[in-house]
Amino acid sequence: MTKQIQFFDTTLRDGEQTIGVNFSIEEKVEIAKQLEAWGVDCIEAGFPVASEGDFEAVSAVAAAVKHTCVTGLARARKGDIDACVKATAQAAHKQIHVFIATSPVHRESKLHMTKEQVLESITDSVTYAHQFFDIVEFSPEDATRTEHDYLCTAIQTAIDAGASVINIPDTVGYTNPAEFAELFQYMQKHIPSFDDVTFSVHCHDDLGMAVANSLASIENGATRIEGTINGIGERAGNAALEEVAAALYVRKDYYNAEDNIDLKETKMTSDMISNYANMPVPRNKAVVGANAFAHESGIHQDGMLKNPNTYEILTPETVGANKTTLPLGKLSGSHAVMAKLHAMGFKVDREEMKEIFPIFKDKADHTSIVSEDDLREIMKQIKKVVA
C-alpha cells in the first residue's frame, strides 16, 4: 500500500537556531510562502514564548500562509501554550507542538524531575493544549536516549491526553538507521495506540545520518518527516528535507510513498534559504549543490552523451536546477547581477557593470531581494533598454 508522507519544515525555528542566522520577520514571511509553494504540510514558524520577535514572526506567518498548517513550539507549560494560541490565532490551519525531555540525563540534569513528574507534566500540558488545538503534536525530547519502556509509557500518556501526532526527536543526532528502525518496531509493539496517531521524526545530523535515519523511520511506521531546507539548524543541523523529498521521488520503487512536494520548486527554495541565512550551499551538496549534476570524468561525460541514465538518477530539471533561480540580494556579486540582466535581455558588458553595480548595491541594502522589476528600474535610470 502506498504511504502518504507529510513534510514538516522547521527552517524558521530549528533552522534559525543555527549560529549566526537571524531571519527578519519579512524574510520569514517570504520563506513561509516559498515553503508553501514547495508543498510542505506544516511550518514550524517559531517559539512564540521565547521572544517578542518570535511571537510576531509566528503571527505574521500564520496570517500570510493559506493552505499550509502553521505551528508554534511550546514547552510543557501553560505560558508557552498560551503564547502559541495567541500567535497562531490568524492561521487558516494550525496545530501546536508541545515538548518535554524524557531521557535520564535531561530529566535529572536539566529538568530535575522524576519519571512520574514528567508523565504528570505531559498529561497536564497536552490536556490543556487540546482545549485550543484539534491537532496537538507531542515530542519526548531526546527520545533516542530514553529508556525504551519509559518512552512508550510517555507516548501513550500523551496520546491518552489528546495528542494525535507523536514526534520522535533524535535530539543529539545519536542514533543510526538500523537502531532507529528497531526503536520503531519496539514502539509498534509496546504502544497500544501506535496505529491511531501520526508518527513523526526530527533527526539531527551530528553523525551525518539525519536523512538516512528519517528514511529508515518511513520504512517502519513514521509518516511525517521534520527537517529544514539545506539541513540548517542547531549544531550540525537537521535532516535536509530536499534530500528526503528527492530520495522518496527517485526511490519510489523502494519506499512506495507519496507526498505533496513540488520538486521543481526545490532549487528556488534552497537558494532563498542560502541567501537569507548567508550560508552558501556546499558545491558537492546532494540535490541542490552547484556540482550535483556536473559530470567531470571523460568516461562519465561519454556515458552521459550516449545515455543520461548511465550516470544520472535525478535530472536538474526535476528539482528546478536548470534555470538560474538565484535570488539577488546584498551578498550577490557583480557577475551574478550581470548574468541575471543577460537572462532578462539586457546586453551589458563588464564596463557598464561598473556603473550598474553600485546602484544595485544601494538598492540591495534597502530591500531583502532585488526583483526583476527593481532591475528594470535600475536599467531605466541608466537609460539602457532591452537589446
Which CA distances in Å does 352 have to 167, 329, 340, 358, 374?
55, 19, 14, 11, 17
CB of 14 to Zn ion, least distance (A): 4
Q: Candidates 7-15, 149-157, 263-271, 302-310 — which segment interacts with Zn ion by CB under 5 A?
A: 7-15
Shortest Cβ distance from residue 149 to Zn ion (Å)?
24
- Helices and strands (H, E) in the chain, number of each type: 15, 10
Q: Which single residue is written with the C-alpha cell 508543498? A: 39
Tell which one of 14, 36, 137, 205 touches Zn ion (CB under 5 A). Answer: 14
Pick the closer one to Zn ion by CB: 234 or 259: 234
In this structure, are residues 97 and 44 in contact, taking their beta carbons and an 8 Å threshold?
Answer: yes
For the residues of 172-183, what is the DSSP string, one character each?
TS---HHHHHHH
Identify the burial level of 267 via C-beta atoms within 10 angstroms of its C-beta, where 0-12 means exposed, 13-18 middle and 19 or more buried. buried
Could you give the CA distance from residue 79 to residue 75 in angstroms, rounded to a whole number? 9
CB of 22 to Zn ion, least distance (A): 17
The three-class DSSP label of residue 271 is helix
* Region binding Zn ion by CB under 5 A among candidate stretches 11-19, 96-104, 131-139, 251-259: 11-19
Minimum CB–partner distance for residue 101 and Zn ion (Å): 12
- How far apart CA 86 and CA 83 sit, in angstroms, is 5
Largest distance between two CA atoms of the chain: 74
| Span from 10-18, 63-71, 99-107, 220-228 in contact with Zn ion (CB under 5 A) | 10-18
Stretch of 12-20, 89-97, 155-163, 176-184 lying at the interface with Zn ion (CB under 5 A): 12-20
Burial class (CB in 10 A: 0-12, 13-18, 19+), 22: exposed
Q: Nearer to Zn ion by C-beta: 9 or 14?
A: 14
Give the interface size with Zn ion as a residue count (CB under 5 A).
1
Which of 258, 228, 226, 223 is CA-nearest to residue 242? 228
Grid cell listed for 232: 540548517
Secondary structure of 313-358 in the HEC alphabet? CCCCCCCCCCCCCCCECCCCCHHHHHHHHHHCCCCCCHHHHHHHHH
Q: Which is nearer to Zn ion, 277 or 341 (CB)?
A: 277
Nearer to Zn ion, 217 or 332 (CB): 217
Residue range at the interface with Zn ion (CB under 5 A); choices 8-16, 70-78, 174-182, 351-359: 8-16
Q: How far is the CB of 243 from Zn ion (least distance, A)?
A: 17
Region near Zn ion per CB under 5 A, out of 9-17, 36-44, 101-109, 187-195? 9-17
The residue nearest Zn ion at its CB is 14
Closest contact distance (angstroms) between CB of 262 and Zn ion is 25
Q: How far is the CB of 191 from Zn ion (least distance, A)?
A: 22
**Distance in Å, CB of 265 to Zn ion, minimum:** 24
Q: Contact between 242 and Zn ion (CB under 5 A)?
A: no
CB nearer Zn ion, residue 139 or residue 153: 139
Between 14 and 137, whose beta carbon lies closer to Zn ion? 14
Burial 216-255 (b: 16+ CB within 10 A, else e): bbbbbbbbbbbbbbbbbbbeebbbbbbbbbbbbbeeeeeb
CA-closest candidate to residue 230, choices 211, 202, 216:
211
Q: Which stretch binds Zn ion (CB under 5 A): 14-22, 173-181, 301-309, 358-366?
A: 14-22
27 vs 303: CA distance, rounded Å: 43
Q: Considering the complex, state which of residue 99 and residue 276 has its C-beta at the smaller distance from Zn ion.
A: 99
Of 95 and 171, which CB lies nearer to Zn ion in the complex structure? 171
Q: In the complex, what is the shortest distance from the CB of residue 170 to Zn ion, in angstroms, rounded to a whole number?
A: 9
Minimum Å gap between C-beta 294 and Zn ion is 32
Nearer to Zn ion, 14 or 271 (CB): 14
8 Å CB contact between 23 and 12:
yes
**CB distance 341 to 378 below 8 Å:** no
Residues that bind Zn ion (CB under 5 A): 14
